[in-house]
Amino acid sequence: MKYWKKLAAKDLDERISLALGENIDYKQKISLGLPASRLDPKVFHDDAAFLKDTPLLRCYVQNPNHIGCHTFGNSESYFRGTQEIERETIELLSVDLLKAEENSCDGYIAAGGTEANIQAAWIYRNYFIENHNAQNNEIALLASTDTHYSVAKAANLLGMQWYAVPVADDTRTIITAELNRVINHAREEGIKYFIVIANMGSTIFGSIDDPDLYARYLEQNGVVFRIHADGAFGGFIYPISNRESNVHFGNPNISSITLDAHKMLQAPYGTGIFMIRKGYMQYVLTKEAQYVSGMDITLSGSRSGTNAVAVWMILQTYGPYGWLEKINKLLYRTAWCCDELDKAGIKYYRDPHMNIIAISAKHIPPEHAIKYGLVPDTHDNSPSWYKIVVMDHVEMEHLDVFISSLRETREEAVTG
């Protein structure tokens, strides 16, 4: 690991205090033009005793605005201390988690996975238009039917079509013949440029798409494409749990990746993460953003710098080994639950490196799903699957109670 280290609470505090010291102090420095200030001191007291030992809350109170992207070009100088922590976080994740070369990626902390996926589609659309002279209606999104609906949002916002590739019902893998058929169909409809969104943990199944499969078929068809990996759910687990993974920046087929710290990392909401190889961010430069010092090249404008600090703190509190242990605990619980489902003859899908179990709805009475908080693949009346996501709060005792009661219901059904 080049950057990812476990730090003691004292060291975290020191580093964050230093960063806050480099940000603007509205009490000390006259700053007449910024439409920003610290949190309202009548409501959020900045002299509360507990703030002394909680650097993250001190950061909230100081309220840094991380508008822009801080791995590329200039940034607002007022928040340079905490911007540096965001830069470090992007570098740590791209290099130590996702196998990028040092200083080869740009990125920022986005509102969430949705924004990060849309940012990717926006960049590639503009890239194809500027670099290949493409027309908007010649560019399309390509993603499996298991893909998160943020891809549908991106298609709608950017005025592009989404071509959905069917997956096999039992393995959730892309059906290669269908991939070929969908690419051909899109080409017949005039599509020459493809923006692929590959799942690194689909929302309902936790299934993983092979980016190299997409690349192979698109290359065979002689079309231009870029591949973005959506690791909003799986990005903090799969690259670690599967050493054979090809979904990372070490794979030249991958150009950008979404992570979501507010899922597996249990960070505050507002901590999606967008990362992309250098050389692309400028395609979404908004030239009209002239009052902002630095470049506006992110979908969201103002955003909380404290979110970046929170992500950095979580990563450095665990360190790589602490995080590995945590993931393994969750995978152990998931495997245990799958064993019990096997014994009970209940059909489910699970990628062995992921902590999501999608159980066939045939085996789950709807009242059971409600009682145990399972999430269906659709909220209409006929779900096909219900998922369990083994997060930190999902303990073996909970899984045990769920499976025992499922067994009882099935025995009752058999004995009448």
Ligand X SMILES: Cc1ncc(COP(=O)(O)O)c(C=O)c1O
- Adjacent-strand bridge partners of 164: 143
Give 315-381 as a DSSP string.
HHHHHHHHHHHHHHHHHHHHHHHHHHHHHTT--EE--TTSSEEEEEGGGS-HHHHHHTT-EES-SSS
**Is position 239 an interface residue for ligand X (rule: CB under 6 A)?**
no
Rounded to an integer, what is the distance from CA 9 to the centroid of its chain?
A: 26
Which residue number, 24 or 204, has a Cβ lying nearer to ligand X? Answer: 204
In the bound complex, what is the minimum distance in angstroms from residue 147's beta carbon to ligand X?
Answer: 7
DSSP 282: G
List the one residue from 203, 255, 256, 307 that touches ligand X (CB under 6 A). Answer: 203
Residues in the interface with ligand X (CB under 6 A) total 14
**Is position 257 an interface residue for ligand X (rule: CB under 6 A)?**
no
Cα–Cα distance between 194 and 182 in angstroms, integer? 12
**Is position 307 an interface residue for ligand X (rule: CB under 6 A)?**
no
Name the one range near ligand X by CB under 6 A: 154-162, 168-176, 230-238, 290-298. Answer: 230-238
Q: How far is CA 316 from CA 53, 96, 191, 267, in A?
A: 17, 12, 45, 13
How is residue 229 written in tokens?
A: 């990996």
Which residue number, 64 or 235, has a Cβ lying nearer to ligand X? Answer: 235
Taking alpha carbons only, the member of 305, 299, 268, 262 closest to residue 283 is: 299
Which residue number, 23 or 199, has a Cβ lying nearer to ligand X? Answer: 199
In three-state form (DSSP H/G/I as H, E/B as E, the rest C), the secondary structure along 63-76 is CCECCCCCCCCCCC
In the bound complex, what is the minimum distance in angstroms from residue 151's beta carbon to ligand X?
Answer: 8
Site string for ligand X, 328-367 (x = CB under 6 A): ----------------------------------------
Contact 198, 227 (CB under 8 A): yes
202: Cβ–Cβ under 8 A, 6 or more apart, which residues? 144, 146, 147, 148, 172, 208, 209, 233
Cα–Cα distance between 157 and 400 in angstroms, integer? 44
In the bound complex, what is the minimum distance in angstroms from residue 254's beta carbon to ligand X?
Answer: 16
Which residue number, 75 or 307, has a Cβ lying nearer to ligand X? Answer: 307
Site for ligand X in 260-289 (CB under 6 A): 260, 272
DSSP 162: E
List phi, psi (to 5°) of 148. Answer: -60, 150
268: Cβ–Cβ under 8 A, 6 or more apart, which residues? 262, 306, 307, 310
Q: Is the dihedral of CA 24, 295, 162, 352 positive or negative?
A: negative
Which residue number, 62 or 203, has a Cβ lying nearer to ligand X? Answer: 203
Site string for ligand X, 387-416 (x = CB under 6 A): ------------------------------
**Is position 235 an interface residue for ligand X (rule: CB under 6 A)?**
no
List phi, psi (to 5°) of 364. Answer: -120, 110
List the one residue from 20, 90, 139, 232 that touches ligand X (CB under 6 A). Answer: 232
Site string for ligand X, 78-117 (x = CB under 6 A): ----------------------------------xxx--x
Which residue number, 233 or 323, has a Cβ lying nearer to ligand X? Answer: 233
Which residue number, 107 or 201, has a Cβ lying nearer to ligand X? Answer: 201
List the one residue from 15, 66, 87, 148 that touches ligand X (CB under 6 A). Answer: 148
**Is position 144 an interface residue for ligand X (rule: CB under 6 A)?**
no
**Is position 299 an interface residue for ligand X (rule: CB under 6 A)?**
no
309: Cβ–Cβ under 8 A, 6 or more apart, which residues? 16, 19, 55, 56, 59, 82, 85, 86
Name the one range near ligand X by CB under 6 A: 31-39, 162-170, 225-233, 365-373. Answer: 225-233
Site for ligand X in 150-189 (CB under 6 A): 150
Task: Give the footprint of ligand X on this chain (CB under 6 A).
Answer: 112-114, 117, 148, 150, 201-203, 230, 232-233, 260, 272
